[in-house]
Chain A
Amino acid sequence: MKLIINDLQEEVLFKLLGKHENVIILSENTPIHHCIGCFGCWVKTPAYCIIQDSFASMGPQIAACDEIILISKCTYGGYSPFVKNVLDRSIGYIHPDFTIRKGEMHHKSRYPEQISMTAHFYGEDITPEEKSTASHLVEANGLNLNTKKNQVFFYKQPEEMKGRIL
């Protein structure tokens, strides 16, 4: 199973994907509340967010997948607000306790299986500095989520992703 978190219009995404199966798609047309920093997903309802909207089960949902695919307008060298919002609401996927990876403090994994992460950033005028930040961001996210593999791609237009997402 693959999980696509994206900020495209649904019809645009479906054109880019073509026929697809075993894919969960999270799109901006579903209302999402922002993370309130309560850590309830660690100390009250482990793995689940306490906010009862369509994004309360991101932890188990990510664990059920073998790859997260992020499709986002590159925004100041990071994700756009919706994609970032979903990631902010997903920290129940990891464990509150800490470990050291590559000499830095990070969270332990909650689930034993490792996933892959691929980020597709699009934007007409992404600067080289923003590209560099975005590449480092995916690497840092991968380290925190303890992924087995990360990939980053940049495009000027979303249409260029056709046939390259799945």
Chain B
Amino acid sequence: MKIGLISGSPKKKDSASGLLLKVLKSLLVQKNKTCQFEALNLNEKGMTQDQLTQMENWDRIVFSFPLYVDGIPAHLLTCLQEMEAYFSSLKIPKETMVYVMVNCGFFEGSQNRLAIDMVSHWCRRTGFIMGQGLGVGGGGMVPSLEVAPLGKGPNKNLGRALEEFSDAVINKRSGPPILINPNFPRVAYMLAAQHNWRSQAKKSGLKRRDLSRRPTSV
């Protein structure tokens, strides 16, 4: 089986989307050692012909991207339209299954639901089969996967969800979206995120009150 892993993060490195794909890949290998992987980073508007041709050989596609304004980031949306134009015109019956992980900075994984539904609508138009979506809330905590074990502590729900999700990918199973929050108090998550904004602003030479500027100059 050939599995295509597509990161739709605009970041070229250190993205939560990329890290989720890395963790998923290790789970998939544990479940089936014969899995073959190919990866694409779609961080620009548009795709090359080589990328589209490469995708023809995949029997499963896993997307991972950040939630942007309740939906799919615009650059990735452009790529999806190009995939739709290409694959819907091939007129070859495809059994390609599509899986998607969407992460958001908000605590609630349920806020990723609409973006997952959009991928499902894209599948119908492209001729692919929607497998399953995974909506990860508290995306700000995803980097903790580098140090905190999956399935434990704040990553308990994420561990269980990735277990179920990877199982669906291996077995080509379809299912309703899995929407998860981190195992961490929401108020503490909010405060930690806000502290992080202040630290970043300070590094840019801004004061705390500068974050609340209300400029009117266009």
Which residues of A pack against B, CB within 8 Å?
Answer: 34-37, 39, 42-44, 46-48, 57, 59-61, 63-64, 75-82, 84-85, 87-88, 90-91, 95-98, 104-106, 110-112, 127, 129-130, 133, 136-137, 140-141, 144
Majority secondary structure of chain A interface residues (helix, strand, loop or mixed): mixed
Known: A34-B74, A88-B69. A130 touches B121 (CB 8 A): yes
A43 close to B216 (CB less than 8 A): no
CA distance A105 to B212 in the complex (A): 19
Binding site for A on B (CB under 8 A): 9-11, 15, 44-45, 66, 68-75, 77-78, 80-81, 106-108, 110-111, 114, 117-122, 124-125, 186, 190, 193-194, 197, 200-201, 204, 206, 210-218
Offer 16 A-B interface pairs, CB within 8 angstroms, sorted by A: A39-B200, A42-B197, A43-B206, A46-B211, A57-B218, A76-B119, A77-B121, A78-B77, A80-B77, A81-B45, A81-B75, A96-B211, A105-B107, A105-B186, A105-B190, A127-B121
Q: Which of B15, B70, B75 has the most CB of A within 10 A?
A: B70
CB-based A-B contact count at 8 angstroms: 148
Task: Say how far A63's CB is from chain B's closest CB, in angstroms.
Answer: 7
| Bound-complex Cα distance A127 to B15 (A) | 33
A35 touches B10 (CB 8 A): yes
Q: Which 8 A-B pairs have the closest CB atoms?
A: A85-B74, A34-B75, A43-B200, A76-B121, A140-B70, A84-B74, A46-B213, A76-B118
A144 touches B69 (CB 8 A): yes
Given contacts A87-B69, A105-B106, contact A78 B211 (CB under 8 A): no
Question: What is the distance, in angstroms, from A124's C-beta to the closest C-beta of chain B?
Answer: 13
- Using Cβ atoms and an 8 Å threshold, which residues of chain A touch B117? 77, 129, 133
